[in-house]
Amino acid sequence: MKKTLWTKNFTLVTAASALGAIGGITGGFALSFLVFDETGSTLASAFILAIQLVPHFVIPLFAAPLMDRLPRKPFLVGGDAVNGILYGLAGIYLMLGKFSYTGYLGFSLLLSSLGAFDELAYNSFYPKLIPEGMEEKGYAVSSMLYPVMKVAATPLAALLFERFGVAWMLLLQAAFSILASLVENRIQIQEQPRLDGKGFSPRLWWRDICEAADYLKRERGLRNIYGYMAVTNGVASGYSPLLIAFFRTAPGFTAAMYSLFSVAEFLGRSLGGAVQYRVKIPPKRKYGFAFGVYQFYETMDMCLLWLPYPLMLVNRACAGFLGINSASMRQAAVQRYLPEHLRARVNAFESICIMAASSLFSVILGALGEVLDYRLCVTLAAGFTLAVCWLTIWRGRGDIRPIYEASASD
């Protein structure tokens, strides 16, 4: 019997992810413009982004040991359900009340705390739903899903934003989150608790943290990968308020053009994901391919906002095409490399690094956007990230290459 990737569980988690992505894209698009439209400040937008990221490097530290010992499905199902309820309440509030920057900061912190649980549970649960030997195909589907939804939902989000406003879009996001929760609840998988007949205690939590820390001390390759991922994702988060401000203030640019600007990258990612699903890169070439993509991506960011608008779209499409291939390859390699009983804790470490860097760079680039040209800010940040890539991925190639080659058997 031929093995298939599309088992019932994998199909269900993919459908739930699609529903969550559609809701997140429509709601996120509206919220990304809400703060800048209300305040007119890139720094104010950056503070919102930064506070949203804080729980992502605090909560995983406490939750990951528990998730490595308890079933992860309830965290995923419950997280999406509560997320939908909160977004629904936010939409109703905006219909009846006025925008409050301080109130929005607090609400963002609450939603982000819930999202941190959900993201950690998903990243640790998802590998269990991929049939053995199909990891790269599974992560190619996962990586391609969001771009496809982005292509479909972003132009619609721009239209809904102009026509109906933020409140109705948040209600739409709430509906999609609850639907995702219902779909996830149908996943059938056996997850055994690992508590050895004892309750979870602070001493057990500390022992689990120390076990994961000892593992990472021995894994220089993982530390270098996580270091570069933290910087490149952190800087990319910092671009967000700058790009919004650029498209909102530069002559001849509009919010609709921003939506197409984003779609171009995700169209490239969709095509790249389709290629990744069908084509295998030889194991010995995986590290070199990934490193080359990182160089290309940072170079494209450096020149992005200096190009005419049509070339911006080409820039993002090309970067997206190559970026998704390196991302799915890295995810499959790293998740296969990690021991199952440590996966949530090590994934939490990566999340903490990325979110800490995202918070830091969001504030730094937001502040720079107050005094420097938006284009210059993006160029300087991309040049810095390029240097970090050489200091981590290239210098640590002896330890990183075996991680990529360990996924050669799929």
pLDDT at 152: 73
Tokens standing for residue 387: 């240097």
At residue 200, does pLDDT exceed 70?
no
pLDDT at 366: 80
At residue 341, does pLDDT exceed 90?
no
At residue 260, does pLDDT exceed 50?
yes
The model's pLDDT over 231-259, given as tens digits with 9 standing for 90+, comes to: 998 888 888 778 888 888 888 887 778 77
Round the average pLDDT of the chain to a whole number and report it.
82
pLDDT at 393: 93
At residue 410, does pLDDT exceed 50?
no
pLDDT at 1: 53
State how far the Cα of 220 lies from the Cα of 400, in Å rounded to an integer. Answer: 8
pLDDT at 144: 75
Mean pLDDT of 319-339: 84
Q: Work out the pLDDT band at 129, boundaries 50, 70, 90.
A: confident
The model's pLDDT over 138-180, given as tens digits with 9 standing for 90+, comes to: 887 887 777 677 767 777 777 777 777 778 888 888 899 999 9
At residue 189, does pLDDT exceed 80?
yes
Give 371-376's long-range contacts (Cβ < 8 A, gap of 24+).
Answer: 374/242, 374/243, 374/245, 374/246, 374/250, 374/305, 375/246, 375/305, 375/306
| pTM for the whole structure | 0.69
What is the percent of the chain where pLDDT is above 70?
A: 90
At residue 197, does pLDDT exceed 90?
no
Nearest to 226 by CA among 139, 53, 348: 348
Burial class of residue 290 in the structure, from the number of CB atoms within 10 Å of its CB (0-12 exposed, 13-18 middle, 19+ buried): buried
At residue 44, does pLDDT exceed 90?
no
Q: What is the DSSP letter of 70?
A: S
Supply φ then ψ for residue 16, to 5 degrees.
Answer: -65, -40
The model's pLDDT over 265-300, given as tens digits with 9 standing for 90+, comes to: 777 877 887 777 777 778 788 888 889 999 998 999
pLDDT at 336: 82
Q: Count Cα neighbours of 298 within 13 Å in the Cβ-side half-sphere.
A: 23
pLDDT at 32: 67
| Helix, strand, coil percentages for the chain (3-state, nearest 5) | 85, 0, 15
Are 184 and 77 spatial neighbours (Cβ–Cβ below 8 Å)?
A: yes
At residue 388, does pLDDT exceed 90?
yes
State how far the Cα of 61 lies from the Cα of 52, in Å rounded to an integer. Answer: 16
Sign for the pseudo-dihedral over CA of 78, 79, 84, 88: positive
The model's pLDDT over 6-20, given as tens digits with 9 standing for 90+, comes to: 889 999 999 998 888
pLDDT at 249: 82
